[in-house]
Amino acid sequence: MNNQNIIFFDGYCILCNGFIDFLLKVDKRSYLRFSPIHGETAKKILPLNRLQDIESVIFIDEQNRIFSKSVAVITILKTLGGFWKLSILFFIIPRVIRDFIYDWIAQNRYSWFGKRDRCRLASEEEKEKILP
C-alpha cells in the first residue's frame, strides 16, 4: 500500500463523494487512489488519531507524508499536474483562514449537502482506484 497517493474521505458525505467523483474524472493519469475513512485500508494505514478525524479529507502522498484539511485539498489538486498545479496559489492565503473555511464547511456538510445511508461502494470501473 505504500508509495501511493491515497485520499481518505467520509464515504457517507455527499459533498465528499462529489469531490471524489470529480477527482476520478480529472485524474487521467491514475495518480490517485481513494478509500473511505471508515474502511479497511484506512484502519491499516492511518494512525488512530487520524481515523477519528472524519471532519477532514486526509491525503497520504507517495513519500508517506500525511496532509489534512485545506493543505490536503490543495496538495491533491497539485498532484494532478497540468492546470491543477495552479492550485498552489491558494497557499498565499494563510492556513488559519483556509482551515477556518474548511472547518466551517465540514461542520455543515451534512445539513447543506446531505448524508448517505451507507458508505460509498466502488463501481466496476472504479474498483482499481477505490480501496476497501
Q: Could you tell me if residue 58 is inside a domain?
A: yes
Residue 53: predicted pLDDT: 60
Cell numbers describing residue 13: 458525505
CA separation, residue 106 to residues 39, 81, 99 (Å) = 20, 26, 10
Q: Could you tell me if residue 24 is inside a domain?
A: yes
For residues 12 and 112, the model is more confident at 112
Q: Collapse the DSSP code of 23 into the 3-class scheme (helix H, G, I; strand E, B; otherwise coil) and give the result.
A: helix
Structural domain total, the chain: 1
Residue 74: predicted pLDDT: 95
Q: Could you tell me if residue 129 is inside a domain?
A: no
**Residue 125, C-beta contacts closer than 8 angstroms, at least 6 positions apart:** none
Q: What is the pTM of this model?
A: 0.85
Q: Could you tell me if residue 121 is inside a domain?
A: no
- Quick one: average pLDDT of 90-115? 92
